[in-house]
A = this chain, B = another copy of it.
Amino acid sequence: MQSGDQSPNINRRTVVAGLALLPALSEALRSMPAVAQTASDASLASWNDGPAKQAILDFVRATTEQGNPKFVAPEDRIATFDQDGTLWVEHPIYSQVVYCLDRVPAVVEKDPKLKNVEPFKTVLSGNREAIARLSLPDLEKILVATLTGMSVDDFEAEAKKWLTTAKDHRWKRLHTDLIYQPMLEAMQYLRANGFKTYIVTGGGQDFVRVYSWQVYGIPPEQVVGTAGGTKFGYHKDGKPFLTKEPRLLLNDDKAGKPEGIHLMIGRRPYAAFGNSDGDRQMLEYTGAGDGARLMMLVLHDDAKREYAYGPASGLPDTKVGRFTQALYDEAKKKNWTVISMKNDWKRIFKFEQNT
């Protein structure tokens, strides 16, 4: 478990007691070295020295240094992170889509007449090429069948079970092991400097909330994602429960990201991290604020250690997580920072040895 806003590794009551004592302690604390500042470089241990790492350090210094004209009040320090391709691997296919495909047999078992109905028939065939060719409407049918219709509690239990057992095909590891270590460090560094970190993902809000605390140190309420409605009802014994409905409330992608940020957070972030055209509007919205703002985009240019795709910078084109040349040009024009996975990251995953 990562240390987070809620300090999962620290006994909260101790902290609360500590806060209550702060008036007495603050004098002593003031005379001690400013830990967060001096520890900054070590906090980004998996980043190579270079413009990306420097952009993070400069932003944090400007926004947290008392007397700096770009100082930001602690309660306004909000940082948002896209997930797929920004915090964890999204190729060859989004992890949540793998989850949905893996859930199809269970759905068919509950409703056997689906066995011979498309697209379920194709998914059950296990023919990966045919599955990869499924149309968007077919994919949506699978998402609806596997992500809605059950209680919120049942969904959480199913997703949790999958997340602790299913392995990806390339690394043979849990999907939650495929988190980018440098981004974890950036999150932790921002939090250590008073920023409240949010995930703002096109993925399912309920899905990401299942593991966000354990994996990122981000509590469920700080995950903004694509969200459907729920319906309140009662079991026969009178106990209330919520059912997940196939009614889209927020499509948290592209323009939906700033819209989702307004709905769920209610104010403009000071820092935003993304990796694809789906993040453009979130970065534009963040950059439109006054003072210091940090906008960063991860470029997947490391075929050896992870994947290489663009099509920006002449990298291979892709359907999953496109980073177009137009986005690249906009980033350059607006002084957003493009993170080269190959050059800026010393290591990609926690499980790797540092080179």
Closest-by-CB residue of B relative to A235 is B288
CB distance from A40 to the nearest CB of B (A): 12
A174 at the interface (CB under 8 A from B): no
A26 at the interface (CB under 8 A from B): yes
Selected from B7, B206, B232, the residue in CB contact (under 8 A) with A285 is B232
Measured in the bound complex, the distance between the Cα atoms of B34 and A213 in whole Å is 28
Selected from B18, B209, B265, the residue in CB contact (under 8 A) with A266 is B209
CB distance from A139 to the nearest CB of B (A): 24
A106 at the interface (CB under 8 A from B): no
A167 at the interface (CB under 8 A from B): no
A240 touches B14 (CB 8 A): no
A21 at the interface (CB under 8 A from B): yes
CB distance from A204 to the nearest CB of B (A): 12
A223 at the interface (CB under 8 A from B): yes
CB distance from A246 to the nearest CB of B (A): 15
Selected from B22, B36, B196, B262, the residue in CB contact (under 8 A) with A10 is B22
Interface string of A139-171 (1 = CB under 8 A from B): 000000000000010000000000000000000
Chain B residues near A249 (CB-CB < 8 A) = 249-250, 263
Interface size for A (C-beta < 8 A) is 69
Selected from B13, B152, B221, the residue in CB contact (under 8 A) with A74 is B13
Chain B residues near A12 (CB-CB < 8 A) = 73-75, 77, 194
Contact residues of A with B, CB < 8 Å? 6-8, 10-22, 25-26, 29-30, 32, 34-36, 39, 64, 66, 73-75, 77, 152, 192-194, 196, 205-206, 209, 213, 219-221, 223, 227, 229-232, 239-242, 249-250, 255-256, 258-259, 262-267, 281, 284-285, 288
Measured in the bound complex, the distance between the Cα atoms of B230 and A281 in whole Å is 14
Give 5 closest A-B pairs by Cβ, nearest first. Answer: A12-B74, A220-B266, A232-B255, A20-B35, A6-B75
Closest-by-CB residue of B relative to A283 is B240
- Residue picked from A35, A206, A221, A223, most chain B C-beta under 10 Å: A221
CB<8 Å pairs between A and B, sample of 14: A10-B19, A10-B22, A12-B73, A13-B36, A13-B64, A13-B193, A14-B22, A18-B18, A18-B22, A20-B36, A20-B192, A205-B263, A205-B266, A221-B264
